[in-house]
Amino acid sequence: MDKKIINSVVFVLFLGLLISFSNFTFAQTTKQQPKQATKQQTIPNKPINTTALNIVANPQKYLNKTVKIQATFDKFSTLGLDYSKAMRPSTKYIGILIQRDDVIDHNIPLSEMKIFLKKELAEKHIDLDTGDKIELTARVFSTALNDPWLDVESLTVIKKMKKENK
């Protein structure tokens, strides 16, 4: 009988080791998966080339995406700053307005689109004038009030308006 008890104890110990080893392997496998997911999330967001009017027409489609648009600069603005549901503090940001693409005989700002620049970036472009052609790369960070709210990542002046054309 002693031999049966010893065999049973050895068998139970063997099973315990097997279970422990399989749990260890499973734990190692599950620890690796989140690292792979993190790598996928850090891939830069390639900008989507579109128009301002497309974004305004369907802001939800562009939410949390980076967009690239060409536009006509209208003016610097405080529109939308310090709004609690899409907070961009006026101490750190300035807004800009661009002109509507669908009106060509006079200037109408596209006020439905809230566009924000960090003040450091805005200071580099303080010489912008109404009518200057610009290209913006920006991230749509909110759709508060069913409007697109954009953080500008880069601003490039494509064409300055001549003084006599203004």
How far is it, in rounded angstroms, from Cα 121 to Cα 156? 11
Kindly report the CATH number assigned to the domain that includes residue 160: 2.40.50.140
Indicate the number of domains in the chain. Answer: 2
Side chain identity at residue 81, one-letter code: L
Q: Are residues 89 and 153 in the same domain?
A: yes
Q: What does the block give as tokens for 43?
A: 């891939």
Q: Are residues 138 and 60 in the same domain?
A: yes
CA dist list (Å): 74 to 80, 132, 157? 16, 8, 13
pLDDT at 3: 67
Categorize the per-residue pLDDT at 162 as very low, low, confident or very high, splitting at 50, 70 and 90.
confident
Q: Are residues 114 and 82 in the same domain?
A: yes
Q: Are residues 66 and 142 in the same domain?
A: yes
Flag whether pLDDT at 158 surpasses 60. Answer: yes
Q: Are residues 24 and 94 in the same domain?
A: no
Q: Are residues 37 and 100 in the same domain?
A: no
Q: Are residues 88 and 21 in the same domain?
A: no
Q: Are residues 138 and 61 in the same domain?
A: yes
Q: Are residues 36 and 53 in the same domain?
A: no
Q: Are residues 67 and 5 in the same domain?
A: no
Q: What is the pLDDT of residues 113-135, one digit of tens each?
A: 999 999 999 999 999 999 999 99
pLDDT at 105: 86
Q: What is the pLDDT of residues 28-75, one digit of tens each?
A: 544 554 444 444 444 567 999 999 999 999 999 999 999 999 999 999
Q: Are residues 96 and 27 in the same domain?
A: no
Q: Are residues 72 and 136 in the same domain?
A: yes
How far is it, in rounded angstroms, from Cα 127 to Cα 125? 5
Query: Domain range spanning residue 100?
Result: 48-165
Side chain identity at residue 57, one-letter code: A
CA–centroid distance for 29 within its chain:
31
